[in-house]
């Protein structure tokens, strides 16, 4: 199986201590809100546009269904909370318990799961109408900007989004939100390998994390950042959501 192959799977495999699972979820599905909590339904109702509400409900329903299978708990009974800086987690998760992270862009969501290790995931639709050079100069580390500007113009857009998703995956894994400066650490931006180059903002973090690029679909960039080393990555699309 190549990195671009995401097989269609109808049930979750075992999630061991060395396993990291990433599921690709189609947000075009019209899902009922019967699995959502009262707070989630209230959040869904705040969206002004129907397509945004649909994406939110589909994503939260899929997350609850996947967590329900990993935990052997009815999806509607799963208790979720948000950490002070915005990272979601299960209420009362033990040190060896399931960790997860979610990212979405356009009609695609990625949901990452691990046991006993933190994880962050990001996905972005590669929009050609974005001023990527201005954004890079504002947020990227100097070495990332130098590599981006040295690329041919036709390669800069996908390289920018590879860099952005790798940086966001690291930030989300840390759970620090924007308190960790985006220009205070650096990642590779080439397509061949995702690597955390340095964590100048906090040198102790450098050995703690491992990055990998993900390739969910044409015109989407994605990445995952996982605590620790020597973990196995499982990628799949989920069949049979609601």
Does residue 5 or residue 106 have the better pLDDT?
A: 106
pLDDT at 18 over 80: yes
Residue range 207-219, pLDDT digits in tens: 999 999 999 998 9
- pLDDT category, 192, cuts 50, 70, 90? confident
State how far the alpha carbon of 74 is from the alpha carbons of 61, 67, 98, in Å.
Answer: 12, 9, 16
Residue range 56-74, pLDDT digits in tens: 999 999 999 999 999 999 9
Question: Are 210 and 228 spatial neighbours (Cβ–Cβ below 8 Å)?
Answer: yes
Helix (H) or strand (E) holding 170: helix 153-174
Distance of CA 44 to the CA centre of its chain: 21
Q: What is the pLDDT of residue 2?
A: 60
C-alpha to C-alpha distance for 117 and 58, rounded to whole angstroms: 26
- Domains of the chain, CATH where assigned: 8-238 (3.90.470.20)
Residue range 23-60, pLDDT digits in tens: 999 999 888 889 999 999 999 999 999 999 999 999 99
For residues 69-90, average pLDDT: 90
Q: Dihedral of CA 5/155/107/83: which sign?
A: positive
Question: Are 108 and 220 spatial neighbours (Cβ–Cβ below 8 Å)?
Answer: yes
Does residue 84 or residue 17 have the better pLDDT?
A: 17
Among candidate residues 235, 240, 192, the one with its CA nearest the CA of residue 213: 192
Q: What is the pLDDT of residue 114?
A: 98
Q: What is the pLDDT of residue 96?
A: 76
Helix (H) or strand (E) holding 42: helix 38-45
Q: What is the pLDDT of residue 172?
A: 95
pLDDT at 94 over 70: yes
Q: What is the pLDDT of residue 241?
A: 62
Q: Classify 207 as helix, strand or coil.
A: helix
Location of structure tokens 């019967």: 34
Question: Are 207 and 233 spatial neighbours (Cβ–Cβ below 8 Å)?
Answer: no
Distance of CA 19 to the CA centre of its chain: 16
- pLDDT category, 180, cuts 50, 70, 90? confident
Helix (H) or strand (E) holding 137: helix 132-139
- Return the percentage of the chain with pLDDT > 70, whole number: 97
Q: Which residues of 211-239 are buried (b: 16+ CB within 10 A; e: fewer)?
A: bbbbbbbeebbbbbbbbbeebeeebbbbe
């Amino acid at each position: 199986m190549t990195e671009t192959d995401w097989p269609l799977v109808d049930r979750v495999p075992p999630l061991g201590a060395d396993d990291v699972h990433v599921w690709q979820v189609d947000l075009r599905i019209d899902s009922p809100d019967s699995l959502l909590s009262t707070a989630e339904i209230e959040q869904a109702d705040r969206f002004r546009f129907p397509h945004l509400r649909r994406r939110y409900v589909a994503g939260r329903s899929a997350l609850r269904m996947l967590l329900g299978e990993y935990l052997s708990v009815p999806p509607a009974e799963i208790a979720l909370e948000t950490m002070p800086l915005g990272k979601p987690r299960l209420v009362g998760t033990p040190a060896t318990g399931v960790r997860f992270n979610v990212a979405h862009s356009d009609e695609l969501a990625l949901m990452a799961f691990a046991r006993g290790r933190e994880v962050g995931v990001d996905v972005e639709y590669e929009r050609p109408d974005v001023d990527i050079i201005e954004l890079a100069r504002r947020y990227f580390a100097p070495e990332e900007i130098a590599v981006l500007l040295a690329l041919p113009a036709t390669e800069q857009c996908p390289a920018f989004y590879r860099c952005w998703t790798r940086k966001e995956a690291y930030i989300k894994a840390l759970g620090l939100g924007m308190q960790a400066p985006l220009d205070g650490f650096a990642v590779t931006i080439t397509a061949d390998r995702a690597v955390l180059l340095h964590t100048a903002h906090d040198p102790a973090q450098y050995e703690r994390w491992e990055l990998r690029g993900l390739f969910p679909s044409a015109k989407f960039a994605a990445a995952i950042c996982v605590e620790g080393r020597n973990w196995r990555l499982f990628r799949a699309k989920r069949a049979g959501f609601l």
